[in-house]
Amino acid sequence: MKRRDFLKSVTAVAAGTALPAPAIWSPAKAQSRQETLLFVTESGPNNFDIHGVGTNRPGYEVSWNCYDRLMSHGKKTLADGTESYDRDTFTPELAEEWTASDKSITFKLRKNATFHDGTAITAKDVKWSFDRAVTVGGFPTFQMKAGSLEKPEQFVVVDDHTFRVDFIRKDNLTIPDLAVIVPGIYHAQLIQKHANEKDPWGLEYTKNNIAGGGAYKVARWQPGSEVVYERNDAWKSGPLPKVRRIVWRIVPSSGNRRALIERGDADISFDLPNKDFAELRQIGKVRVASTPIGNGIWYLGLNCKNPPFNNVKLRQAIAYAIPYQKIMDAVMFGLANPMYGGKTNTASNLTWPQQHGYNTDIAKAKQLMAEAGFPNGLETTLSFDLGFGVIGEPLCVLVQESLNQIGIKTTINKIPGANWRNELLKKELPMIVNTFSGWLDYPEYFFFWSYHGQNAVFNTMSYQDKAMDAYIDAARTAAAENDSAAYDKNVRGFVNKAFAEVPRIPLFQPYLNVAMQKNISGYRYWFHRQLDYRSLAKA
């Protein structure tokens, strides 16, 4: 089948908005169908480059599949039979081997690896890519800093196929941080042709163009509609993927996404309402994988920088007014781990996330409202990301109804997914419903991102507290030095402080739910919560 004809056929998926619809794939297209994987989601990428400003989570998926990293993770099998990445094992990707000491780690690059245009990948490209990551600012630079990867001087070209990272301090997060999405390897010469004085790192070019050498290439992109990938048959950083072509269709209607997966017209779907996932599992026509998202929570965030939520008692009042069980029942349909109802507001262990001691107590909430100086209530806005509206919207409605009982009148603010990250970075939204998960599954990593006062990215509530910063920094130091007593003290310290001052109120630990046809194999849960196409296969 010609690519043009194939694209015409998959465009018919859009007809899913008018149900019922005829089968998309005719017998004559069976071979192409077997070589093609079609998946549908609520929202798509706003940027192909994870180094870009405001790149959303769907954009991470593009970076993950189109760019290589030096190393990746091994896999393990969970209790329900689902494959998952293995946090504690590291495997070669662009680097075929490495040696580490207390002062540095040296990588030997694959000598036959090339970018998509056939240009050889060298250590100079790796250094340029790492220099870019620690220099562009924003999320990528803070992500590198999370693993003590901070200065271009740390990154050394030994020869064309040997690259070294020098450590600036002992940090248990350095090696794991080399396997996340941000330190991808970019085609330096190609990007430099499109860079200029105002855009020295070529971010405008890589926003809409791939400059990598990963397992897949973007063949076509219609923003807000679809992304079409084709396999990079020259890829040398792992086994050649079994699926030749990936079609990612954006279908905003959750009802249409469910219909497509139930009819067999789509191979994979996620971002469905939890009610649909629960029903699909019960019906049994498709396979549903549900994996607790490590180091992740949905939360109600309160802006600590600006009035009125710079008032601790007001934040505590809201924590007692949240309709936790209604959210679990009516929004999550039990497919989540509750983060409320602990015995106390002190840490019960050294894991994250864990339950806090707040529960729904309207009388207690009203009492704290009065003590906070708001006996007559207040008015504010409650914002959420429309890109994750299947959870965010009903959750906001329940919170709105409950806060109304204690005199807080909220206007729900629906922000398009493509704009959400940029709005968060402004840190002016007074109250938000949001989700965050730490890529590195360690409590000190989550708190570095979400509560540290020096973090300009995901400390979305502008929470500033020197004691909190000290706990987080000391926990990281204790982990690096294998000082278990100090680690215990400081992890409990920052968890206790987070529960007492509630700049963000943990609601639940979500599951990553994915529905797929039964002839799909190789699905693997990853810390970034997006699909890795490389391991997927169709029977």
Assign domain 3-267+517-538 to its CATH architecture.
Answer: 3-Layer(aba) Sandwich (3.40)
DSSP states along 326-384 = HIIIIISTT-EEE----SSSS--SS-SS---S----HHHHHHHHHHTT-TT-EEEEEEE
3-state secondary structure of 525: strand
The number of C-alpha atoms within 13 Å of 50 and in the hemisphere containing its C-beta is 31
- As a three-state string, the secondary structure of 16-79 is HHCCCCCCCCCHHHHHHHHCEEEEEECCCCCCCCCCCCCCCHHHHHHHHHHCCCCEEEEEEECC
Question: Angle at Cα 167 formed by Cα 175 and Cα 441, nearest 5°?
Answer: 30
Partner residues linked to 512 by β-bridges: 291
- Of 35, 39, 27, the closest CA to residue 532 belongs to 39
Distance, CA of 142 to CA of 162 (rounded, Å): 26
pLDDT confidence of residue 456: 64
Q: Both tokens of residue 148?
A: 């003590």
What is the maximum span of the chain, computed from C-alpha positions, in angstroms? 71
Q: Do domains 3-267+517-538 and 296-511 have the same CATH topology?
A: no
Say which CATH topology domain 296-511 has.
Answer: Dipeptide-binding Protein; domain 3 (3.10.105)
Q: Is 419 helix (H, G, I), strand (E, B) or coil?
A: helix
- 3 state DSSP class of 15: helix
Residue 310 burial by Cβ neighbours in a 10 Å radius (0-12, 13-18, 19+): middle
Strand extents, DSSP E, 123-255: 155-159, 162-166, 216-222, 226-231, 245-250
Angle between helices 123-135 and 138-145 (to 10 degrees): 110
Structure tokens at 413: 């603010």
Q: Cα separation of 237 and 131, whole Å?
A: 22
Phi, psi of 132 (to 5 degrees): -60, -45
Closest listed residue to residue 395, CA positions, set 352, 433, 422: 433
| Residue 9 neighbours by CB under 8 Å, 6+ apart | 24, 25, 29, 32
Long-range contacts at 203-207 (CB < 8 A, ≥ 24 apart): 203/49, 203/51, 203/52, 203/53, 203/136, 206/48, 206/49, 206/51, 206/52, 207/47, 207/48, 207/49, 207/52
Tell me the pTM. Answer: 0.86
* Phi, psi for residue 279 in degrees, rounded to 5: -70, -40
Domain ranges of the chain: 3-267+517-538, 296-511
> Residue 144: phi, psi to the nearest 5?
-65, -40
pLDDT in tens, the chain (539 residues): 343 443 343 344 333 333 333 344 444 455 667 789 999 999 999 999 999 998 999 999 999 999 999 999 999 999 989 999 999 999 999 999 999 999 999 999 999 999 999 999 999 999 999 999 999 998 999 999 999 999 999 999 999 999 999 999 999 999 999 999 999 999 999 999 999 999 999 999 999 999 999 999 999 999 999 999 999 999 999 999 999 999 999 999 999 999 999 999 999 998 899 999 999 999 999 999 999 999 999 999 999 999 999 999 999 999 999 999 999 999 999 999 999 999 999 999 999 999 999 999 999 999 999 999 999 999 999 999 998 898 999 999 999 999 999 999 999 999 998 899 899 989 999 999 999 999 999 999 999 999 999 876 789 999 999 999 999 999 999 999 999 999 999 999 999 999 999 999 999 999 999 999 999 999 999 999 999 999 999 99
Q: What is the pLDDT of residue 29?
A: 54
Give the residue among 412, 382, 439, 332 at the shortest CA–CA distance from 57.
439
Q: Are 530 and 59 in contact, with CB atoms under 8 Å apart?
A: no
Can you give the pLDDT at residue 425? 86
Tokens of 99: 């040696």
What pLDDT score was predicted for residue 34? 76
Alpha carbon 476 to chain centroid, angstroms: 22
Burial of 463 (0-12, 13-18, 19+ CB in 10 A): buried
